[in-house]
C-alpha cells in the first residue's frame, strides 16, 4: 500500500488516505473515516469527493438491495414477477458487485417495474422537489431501510446516488455478522455480555438522560467481538470494488478505517471474509437460539423478521421444511427473547431518551 495523501479535518471527518490496489492498476481508494456523531461542515464532503472518483463505497448493509436486485434480474431475464427469497445464509452474500450497487437507473427499474423496461421513467427531472421525494422513498423501500450508527452514512446515501455515480453498499450483511458472532462467542460469554450491557445501561440512566441504546453500549463495550469480522469483510469488499472501478471514494466508520488499512494488502476473498465458523463444541440448538435472541435484544434490528428471508433460522440448518416444525422453533425463539428482555424500567428510560433525541 502506498499513501499519496492524508488529511484530518477539524470537524472530525478524517480522510484516512489513498490506497493503491496493485502497481499494475491505477485504481485508488480514498478512504474516509466517519465519526459516530454528526459533524459540522459548510459543504457536503461526499458530493465533493464523489465528483472526482468513478464510484462511491458506503459502509451500509446491502441485504435489502441484494434481494431487490435479484428480484429485478429475475423479472427482466425470466419474465417472472415473484420475489426472489433468501433461502440460505450464503444467499445473503452478493454474487456480483452489481447486486449491492445502487444507481438512479436501477432504482427506477425497481420502483416502476415493467414500465421502465418499456422506456418510461418515473423520476420527473422537471420537478426537482418531487424527484427528490420520489428517490428518497424508493431508496428506503428498495435499497436501504436500516439505520447505521454512523449517522452521516444514513444521510450520505441520497447525495451519493444523486452524483449519478454507482454507490456500493459495502458493509457485512447483518445475518452473516450475527452468525459469525454467535458461533464465535460461547453461551456463557454471551450471557455475561448481556448482563454487563444491562448493568452499564442502568448505571448510565441513574446519572444521565442522554441517549445510550443497548446497541451502542454493546458495540462500545465489546468492539473485539463485533469489529474483527466487519473489518475483514470491509477490506475484502473494498478491494473487490477497487478491482472493478478505477477510483473509489470510500466512507466507513472511524473505528474501522485503521483496521481496513492494515488488512488492505492481505484481505482474503469475500467468501472467506464471510465464512461462519463451526458452532462451539457441546452447544445445542437451544443454546444457539438463546445467543441469537440475546443478539436480537442487543442489536435490535429485527433482522430475522424480514419477509424475504425464507427461513428465520438458517443457522440451525434444519433438515425439515415442515411449517409445524418451524413453528415449534419460532415459539422456542420467542420464549428465549422474553427471557432476555431488558428490564421494563430500563426499557422505558431508553425509549424516553430516544424520544428526546429525535
Mean pLDDT by groups of 10 residues along the chain of 358 residues:
30 48 55 76 69 91 92 80 82 94 86 58 66 83 85 87 92 95 96 96 93 92 96 96 92 92 91 93 92 92 83 73 77 86 88 81
Q: Is position 206 within any domain?
A: yes
- Dihedral, 100, 101, 103, 105 alpha carbons, nearest 10: -70
Q: Is position 183 within any domain?
A: yes
Tell me the C-alpha distance between 229 and 233, whole Å. Answer: 6
| Cβ–Cβ under 8 Å, residues 314 and 175 | yes
Query: Which range of residues forms the domain containing residue 301?
Result: 174-222+273-357
pTM of the model: 0.88
| Cβ–Cβ under 8 Å, residues 198 and 342 | yes
Strands (E), the chain: 7-8, 14-20, 28-34, 55-58, 101-102, 167-169, 247-253
Q: Is position 343 within any domain?
A: yes
Give 265's contacts (C-beta < 8 A, 6+ positions apart): 1
Q: Which residues pair with 32 in a beta bridge?
A: 15, 251
Q: Is position 200 within any domain?
A: yes
Q: Is position 279 within any domain?
A: yes
pLDDT at 24: 35
Question: What is the count of structural domains for the chain?
Answer: 1
Instruction: Report DSSP letters for 76-141, one per residue.
Output: HHH---SPPPB-SGGGGS-SSGGGGEE-HHHHHHHHHTHHHHTT---S-TT-HHHHHHHHHHHHHH
Q: In what order do the strands lie in the sheet with 14-20?
A: 7-8, 14-20, 28-34, 247-253, 55-58, 167-169, 101-102
Q: Is position 214 within any domain?
A: yes
Amino acid at each position: 500500500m502506498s499513501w499519496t495523501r492524508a488529511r484530518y479535518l477539524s470537524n472530525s471527518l478524517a480522510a484516512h488516505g489513498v490506497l493503491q490496489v496493485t502497481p499494475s492498476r491505477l485504481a485508488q481508494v480514498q478512504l474516509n473515516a466517519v465519526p459516530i456523531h454528526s459533524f459540522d461542515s459548510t459543504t457536503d464532503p461526499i458530493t465533493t469527493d464523489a465528483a472526482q472518483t468513478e464510484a462511491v463505497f458506503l459502509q451500509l448493509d446491502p441485504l435489502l438491495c441484494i434481494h431487490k436486485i435479484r428480484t429485478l434480474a429475475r423479472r427482466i431475464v425470466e419474465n417472472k414477477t415473484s420475489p426472489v427469497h433468501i433461502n440460505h445464509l450464503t444467499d445473503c452474500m452478493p454474487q456480483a458487485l452489481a447486486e449491492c450497487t445502487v444507481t438512479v437507473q436501477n432504482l427506477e427499474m425497481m420502483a416502476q417495474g415493467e414500465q421502465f423496461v418499456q422506456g418510461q421513467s418515473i423520476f420527473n427531472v422537471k420537478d426537482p422537489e418531487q424527484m427528490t421525494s420520489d428517490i428518497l422513498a424508493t431508496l428506503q423501500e428498495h435499497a436501504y431501510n436500516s439505520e447505521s450508527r454512523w449517522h452521516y452514512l444514513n444521510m450520505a446515501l441520497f447525495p451519493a446516488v444523486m452524483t449519478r455515480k454507482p454507490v456500493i453498499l459495502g458493509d457485512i450483511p447483518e445475518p452473516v455478522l450475527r452468525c459469525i458472532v454467535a458461533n464465535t462467542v460461547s453461551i456463557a460469554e454471551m450471557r455475561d455480555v448481556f448482563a454487563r450491557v444491562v448493568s452499564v445501561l442502568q448505571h448510565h440512566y441513574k446519572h444521565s438522560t442522554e441517549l445510550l441504546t443497548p446497541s451502542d453500549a454493546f458495540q462500545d463495550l465489546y468492539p473485539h467481538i463485533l469489529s474483527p469480522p466487519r473489518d475483514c469483510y470491509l477490506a475484502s469488499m473494498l478491494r473487490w470494488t477497487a478491482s472493478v472501478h478505477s477510483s473509489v471514494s470510500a466512507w466507513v466508520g472511524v473505528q474501522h478505517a485503521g483496521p481496513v488499512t492494515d488488512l488492505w494488502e492481505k484481505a482474503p476473498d469475500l467468501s472467506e471474509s464471510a465464512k461462519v465458523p463451526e458452532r462451539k463444541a457441546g452447544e445445542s440448538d437451544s443454546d444457539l437460539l438463546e445467543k441469537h435472541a440475546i443478539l436480537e435484544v442487543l442489536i435490535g434490528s429485527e433482522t430475522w423478521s424480514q419477509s424475504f428471508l425464507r427461513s428465520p433460522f438458517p443457522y440451525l440448518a434444519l433438515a425439515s421444511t415442515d411449517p409445524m416444525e418451524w413453528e415449534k422453533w419460532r415459539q422456542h425463539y420467542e420464549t428465549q427473547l422474553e427471557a432476555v428482555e431488558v428490564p421494563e424500567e430500563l426499557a422505558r428510560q431508553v425509549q424516553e431518551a430516544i424520544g428526546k433525541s429525535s
